[in-house]
Structure 1
Amino acid sequence: MMRWRDEVNAICAALPGAECSDPWGGGHDCWKVGGKMFAVQGVEPGLSVKCPDIETAEMLRETTDAIRAPYFHRSWVKLPEGSDLEETAHRIRVSYGVIRAGLSKKLQASLPAWEEN
């Protein structure tokens, strides 16, 4: 059985144009599309993802186990390691979509096609 972190990395890797790096060193999995982060797993367990807005992030913090993602804008949340994979995959896709939509039209056009679910 795959570890949760490996499952999350597999979900991120399957997204068109997604690339992983460790920009700060020390074992971070920083997932980017078009050079912009959409998901980060650090040395501390959990996954940080971007929400469409601050209100969505606040709602998730109030109604789920999500917390404010340390070192990130208030529109990011951190999901605890071991969170439901279906919900985690949804949050990853939302984050990816928000970041991808914010890229320039030219950069978006250079990426592989993606159909939002």
Structure 2
Amino acid sequence: MSPSLRERVAAICAPLPGAEASDPWGGGHEAWKVGGKMFACIGSVTPGVAVKCADVETASMLIEAGVGARAPYFHRSWLLLPEDVPEDELAHRLVVSYDLVRAKLPRRIVATLPAREGT
């Protein structure tokens, strides 16, 4: 049996420095955060994982290219990747989202996080 989307996301996100999963709203959501800010979210009902893109234009381009769909309940710069997203695309989008969110954190919070290899 192949791993679930939650298992696939956890395998990619858990090793990221300072990444933590929680269910902030209850009901089976899984929000991955760094420095208290969300970079990925799996809902309790809608299939897929929402990730942050650099901007609205990038998210729109990825939607037009068929990579994902508009992430409901999120800003337009977020993208909803489907459950069957290829592993390389999933890993890339999760790491980009993590890096975008981490880069916007206050320096005092970044200073408390482990270093990110390869950046």
CA contact (8 A) 1:97 1:116 kept: no
Deviation at 1:116, TM superposition (A): 4.6
Instruction: Tell me how far apart the structure 1 counterparts of residues 56 and 105 of structure 2 sit (CA, whole Å).
Output: 19
Instruction: Tell me how far apart the structure 2 counterparts of residues 22 and 71 of structure 1 sit (CA, whole Å).
Output: 16
Query: Which residue of structure 1 aligns with residue 51 of structure 2?
Result: 49
Structure 1, unaligned stretches of length 5 or more?
Answer: none
Instruction: Tell me how far apart the structure 2 counterparts of residues 75 and 59 of structure 1 sit (CA, whole Å).
Output: 11
Query: Which residue of structure 2 aligns with residue 100 of structure 1?
Result: 102
CA contact (8 A) 1:5 1:81 kept: no
Query: Which residue of structure 1 aligns with residue 5 of structure 2?
Result: 4
Deviations 1:46-104 (A, max 9, x none): 00000011111010000024111001001000001111011011000000000000001
Instruction: Tell me how far apart the structure 1 counterparts of residues 73 and 95 of structure 2 sit (CA, whole Å).
Output: 21
Query: Which residue of structure 1 aligns with residue 70 of structure 2?
Result: 68
Query: Which residue of structure 1 aligns with residue 91 of structure 2?
Result: 89
Quote the RMSD (CA, aligned, Å). 1.2
Identity percentage of aligned residues: 58
Structure 2, unaligned stretches of length 5 or more?
Answer: none
Instruction: Tell me how far apart the structure 2 counterparts of residues 83 and 70 of structure 1 sit (CA, whole Å).
Output: 18
Query: Which residue of structure 2 aligns with residue 37 of structure 1?
Result: 38
Following TM superposition, the consecutive aligned residue runs of length 4 or more in structure 1 with deviations greater than 4 angstroms are: none
Q: How high is the TM-score relative to the length of structure 1?
A: 0.94
Instruction: Tell me how far apart the structure 2 counterparts of residues 35 and 66 of structure 1 sit (CA, whole Å).
Output: 25
